[in-house]
Amino acid sequence: MTWLANNWGTLVAIGVVALLIAGAIFALIRDKKRGKRACGCNCSCCAMKGACHKS
């Protein structure tokens, strides 16, 4: 219990960061399933313009 009392701030910070990372991953997966693109979709300037998005 002493260890928890001495390190509660660090544990809370780690928990918050873990929640933020999990939320970002969840949002990326949800957007991918909905067909949204993560890039800026300025494909005319992109070196991967032929391989990135299938029309």
Residue 50 lies in a domain: no
Is residue 13 over pLDDT 90? yes
**Looking at per-residue confidence, does 35 or 38 come out higher?**
35
- Collapsing DSSP to helix, strand or coil, 22 comes out as helix
Is residue 37 over pLDDT 90? no
Q: Which residue is it, tokens 């029309």? A: 55
Answer yes or no: are the C-beta atoms of 28 and 22 closer than 8 Å. Answer: no
- Counting the structural domains of the chain, the total is 1
pLDDT of residue 34: 84
- The domain in which residue 35 lies consists of 2-45
Q: Residues 7-32: what's their mean pLDDT?
A: 95
pTM, full prediction: 0.63
Tokens at 41, concatenated: 């979709």
Q: Residues 24-48: what's their mean pLDDT?
A: 77
Q: Residues 6-33: what's their mean pLDDT?
A: 94
Residue 10 lies in a domain: yes
